Copies of this chain bind each other. A is one copy, B any other.
Amino acid sequence: MAEKKLVEAITSRNDDFAQWYTDVVKKADLIDYSNVKGCMVIKPAGYAIWELIQYNLDQMFKATGVENVYMPMFIPESLLQKEKDHVDGFAPEVAWVTHGGLTPLQERMCVRPTSETLFCDFYAADIHSYRDLPRLYNQWCSVVRWEKETRPFLRSREFLWQEGHTAHATAEEAAERTELMLNVYAEFCEKFLAIPVVKGRKTEKEKFAGANATYTIEAMMHDGKALQSGTSHDFGDGFARAFDIKYTDRDNTLKFVHQTSWGLSTRIIGAIIMVHGDDSGLVLPPLVAPTQVMIVPIQQQKEGVLDKANELKEALGSFRVKVDSSEKSPGFKFAEQEMRGIPIRLEIGPKDIAMGKCVICRRDTREKIECNLEDVTQTVSKLLETIQNDMLARATKHLQENTYKAANKEEFIKAFNEKLGFVKAMWCGDRTCEEKIKEEMAVTSRCMPYEQEQLADTCIYCGKPAEKMVYWGKAY
């Protein structure tokens, strides 16, 4: 009965995807709602995924020369206001601190919604010479944006992220870094999260407040909607001019630096859930699964069963393995392991032990394999790799099959009417057309992909000459 309860508790993915998402997040024990409105509690099962993301992404950053730092969490109001576009973009959604203890502050401060202004203020004092460049700093921290509607991982008033902030001698170097970090994000998503992404540039309308250009990786969820999964911004010398960040070049003249910033947040956990999950719950890619193998002893009260289970755990020491020796029934344990998305379940009971075997079950396909006990390590090792690869292959197939081309407005409407996904279509570059398309068809431009195609000569909306091919979609 308890088993049924656990499984029945989640809505089917195809009945109500939004409710399915909420159910999984809760039943897989990733988060809990808190009494602090709009903020969530990230529970051990959820935070451990973030720790694996942090660890692996951080290694990739460091391999490109990035160093970690920590900036204050507060931004004095005057500092936030230095770059006009930036303050316009963020001021309406920040939390303001007005009192320290019992005393009103002379100048109120916001809790960082992002830290461009703090890094700029620091760089202005810290950078003097071309020898000080590039500066390749990153920080792992939490940020606050006063959202009205919130959803676990996807949108909350406080979230965890990393924000990289770099300063360079030339515009070219800044542009290169912007692209390099976008590529790091894309590679990370494919390799570790088994999520394929579309890489491209945001339109003027969708770019970051204060940036010259914003680049994005867009992932497709199971329901065909897009999730912006990481962004990389090229600031040119805009912030440098606002904050007066200059360096003395080799030719002894003063020049403005060129800057970038790039971020990826706990939102990406929402992508993992919505790309890979199924009606039994979460399905985690092995490389970011906090537990990769759950050993479930069958008839564990019988002599030797628990010992054998623990022995197998030892043998599998190079993986992240747990034994579920709780008092629950095996059926309940199976349901729980599936709900939590643990990639491999290993069942071992008295009969298996007598035959020198065990049963290995893949979470992603539910395929069961009988395995000789002496082959367990090798089998698990190979299977984790296979699962990781198969998950990426399935997600890639889903992305491809749900990406359509539209040469004109009729095809565009038809494509979105048939099934939600991405639609590639030509655009004149005019903001008005972009806004009209959003208004009339409730889809937004996701990006102008690096890989451009010439689907037609004219904009699908206005018929004027086309400038760019754009990915369109509904977004989270």
Task: Please give the residue numbers on chain A whose beta carbons come within 8 Å of chain B beta carbons, in ascending order.
Answer: 32, 34-36, 39-44, 47-48, 50-51, 67-76, 79, 91-102, 109, 111, 118, 121-122, 125-126, 137, 141-142, 144, 146, 157-158, 160
**Residue of B with least CB distance to A91:** B101
A35 to B124, CA, bound (A): 11
Task: Verify A72–B32 contact, CB threshold 8 A.
Answer: no
Number of copies: 2
Do A92 and B96 contact each other (CB < 8 Å), given the known contacts A73-B142, A74-B36, A122-B41?
A: no
Task: Verify A72–B146 contact, CB threshold 8 A.
Answer: no
Task: Verify A99–B98 contact, CB threshold 8 A.
Answer: yes
A67 to B42, CA, bound (A): 11
Report which of B32, B48, B76, B98 forms a contact with A35, defined as CB distance below 8 A.
B76
Do A35 and B73 contact each other (CB < 8 Å), given the known contacts A51-B68, A68-B48, A141-B142?
A: no
B contact residues around A92 at 8 Å (CB): 101-102
B contact residues around A158 at 8 Å (CB): 72-74
B contact residues around A121 at 8 Å (CB): 34-35
Task: Verify A111–B93 contact, CB threshold 8 A.
Answer: no
A100 to B39, CA, bound (A): 13
Task: Verify B42–A70 contact, CB threshold 8 A.
Answer: yes
B contact residues around A39 at 8 Å (CB): 72-74
B contact residues around A35 at 8 Å (CB): 76, 79, 121
B contact residues around A125 at 8 Å (CB): 32
A94 to B122, CA, bound (A): 25
Task: Verify B72–A43 contact, CB threshold 8 A.
Answer: no
CB proximity of A52 to chain B, nearest CB, Å: 12
24 contacts across the A-B interface (CB closer than 8 A)? A32-B126, A34-B122, A35-B79, A35-B121, A36-B72, A36-B74, A39-B74, A41-B71, A41-B72, A41-B122, A42-B69, A42-B70, A44-B137, A47-B69, A48-B67, A73-B142, A73-B158, A74-B95, A74-B158, A92-B101, A96-B97, A111-B111, A141-B142, A142-B142
B contact residues around A73 at 8 Å (CB): 39, 111, 142, 144, 158
CB proximity of A371 to chain B, nearest CB, Å: 29
Do A41 and B70 contact each other (CB < 8 Å), given the known contacts A75-B36, A101-B94, A118-B34?
A: yes
Question: Taking each of A48, A96, A142, A158, which has the highest tally of chain B beta carbons within 10 Å of its own beta carbon?
Answer: A96
A44 to B135, CA, bound (A): 11
Do A44 and B71 contact each other (CB < 8 Å), given the known contacts A35-B121, A142-B141, A146-B101?
A: no
A70 to B121, CA, bound (A): 29
A141 to B142, CA, bound (A): 9
